[in-house]
């Protein structure tokens, strides 16, 4: 699993982020949190996370300075910035420092989900696991889990639910997805949904809203964002081009 470190000067926000975001479903693990960015620098140097999610406006050290300080230590880490006061200048400064993405407070889980999927894809390319099918062969339960996900990708379920259903630990399933497919459960499901969407769109009489529902998305606008993030174009444009 990829390691995440959280920084925000409000502890209640840190706890909320840790508890509400489906980290493991996306192949991530929160390895540390800190309200003081000065202390966070030392902790990050020691723990070497893959991703840092940091507040922008903090009293001791603002997010831009915190990010620059960590970069100067030579750490190869992706930054996601949180802000309730997003301005064009803040965003420009962040991306000039090669920040990965920007999220506005209060956090919306769907928006966080989109960022985590993009992070997972980038990290999988940066730090790919050696692909092997040994674990699938050795562990029939995981093979059954994969078959189940392929048949029920349009339904909503979590890593914990699958773990209970197939008698495997959530962490073990997460590791098997990484080693066997070099991806996460969520990205695996998204791939199945997007491929199914394209198949459905071959029928010109099928409305895009129905395509979204058939692929497991009750919110068409969220489906539109996921599709555009996956294929680079909106569903309507893709359908017109093909």
Same domain assignment for residues 105 and 74: yes
For 204, counting Cβ atoms within 10 Å of its Cβ (0-12 exposed, 13-18 middle, 19+ buried), the class is exposed
Same domain assignment for residues 196 and 103: no
At residue 89, the pLDDT reads 81
CATH of the domain at 27: 3.40.50.2300
Same domain assignment for residues 20 and 81: yes
What are the counts of helices (DSSP H) followed by strands (DSSP E) for the chain?
13, 5
CATH of the domain at 213: 1.10.10.60
Q: Which domain holds residue 149?
A: 134-183
Give the count of domains, the chain: 3
Same domain assignment for residues 117 and 22: yes
Domain limit, last residue, from 163, 183, 203? 183
Same domain assignment for residues 166 and 204: no
Same domain assignment for residues 150 and 211: no
Task: Give per-residue pLDDT as tens, 95-105.
Answer: 888 899 989 88
Same domain assignment for residues 51 and 97: yes
What's the rounded mean pLDDT across residues 209-217?
97
d(CA 190, CA 156): 12
For residue 90, pLDDT beyond 90 = no
Same domain assignment for residues 15 and 100: yes
For residue 209, pLDDT beyond 80 = yes
Task: Give per-residue pLDDT as tens, 12-71.
Answer: 999 999 999 999 999 999 999 999 999 999 999 999 999 999 998 888 788 889 999 999
Global pTM exceeds 0.75: yes
Same domain assignment for residues 166 and 214: no
Same domain assignment for residues 8 and 120: yes
At residue 138, the pLDDT reads 63
For residue 115, pLDDT beyond 60 = yes
**What would the 3-class secondary structure string for 92-125 be?**
HHHHHCCCCEEEECCCCHHHHHHHHHHHHHHHHH
Task: Give per-residue pLDDT as tens, 155-205.
Answer: 999 999 999 999 999 999 999 999 899 999 999 999 999 999 999 999 888
> SS3 for 147?
helix
Domain limit, last residue, from 183, 200, 223? 183
At residue 137, the pLDDT reads 52
Same domain assignment for residues 169 and 224: no
For residue 135, pLDDT beyond 80 = no
Same domain assignment for residues 179 and 196: no
């Amino acid at each position: 699993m990829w390691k995440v470190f959280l920084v925000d000067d409000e502890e209640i926000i840190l706890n909320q982020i840790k508890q509400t975001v489906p980290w493991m479903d996306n192949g991530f693990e929160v390895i540390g949190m800190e309200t003081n960015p000065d202390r966070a620098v030392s902790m990050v140097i020691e723990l070497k996370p893959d991703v840092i999610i940091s507040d922008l406006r903090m009293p001791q050290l603002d997010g831009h300075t915190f990010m620059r300080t960590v970069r100067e230590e030579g750490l190869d880490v992706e930054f996601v910035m949180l802000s309730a006061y997003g301005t064009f200048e803040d965003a420009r400064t962040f991306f000039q420092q090669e920040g990965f993405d920007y999220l506005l407070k209060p956090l919306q889980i769907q928006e966080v989900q989109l960022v985590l999927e993009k992070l997972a894809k980038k990290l999988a390319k940066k730090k790919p696991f050696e692909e092997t099918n040994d674990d699938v062969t050795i562990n029939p339960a995981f093979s059954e889990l994969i078959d189940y996900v392929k048949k029920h990708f349009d339904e909503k379920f979590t890593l914990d639910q699958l773990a209970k259903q197939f008698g495997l630990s959530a962490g073990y399933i997460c590791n098997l997805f990484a080693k066997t497919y070099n991806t996460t459960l969520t990205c695996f499901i998204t791939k199945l949904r997007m491929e199914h969407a394209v198949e459905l769109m071959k029928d010109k009489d099928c409305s895009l809203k129905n395509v979204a529902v058939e692929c497991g998305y009750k919110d068409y606008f969220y489906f539109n964002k996921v599709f555009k993030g996956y294929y680079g174009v909106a569903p309507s444009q893709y359908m017109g081009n093909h």
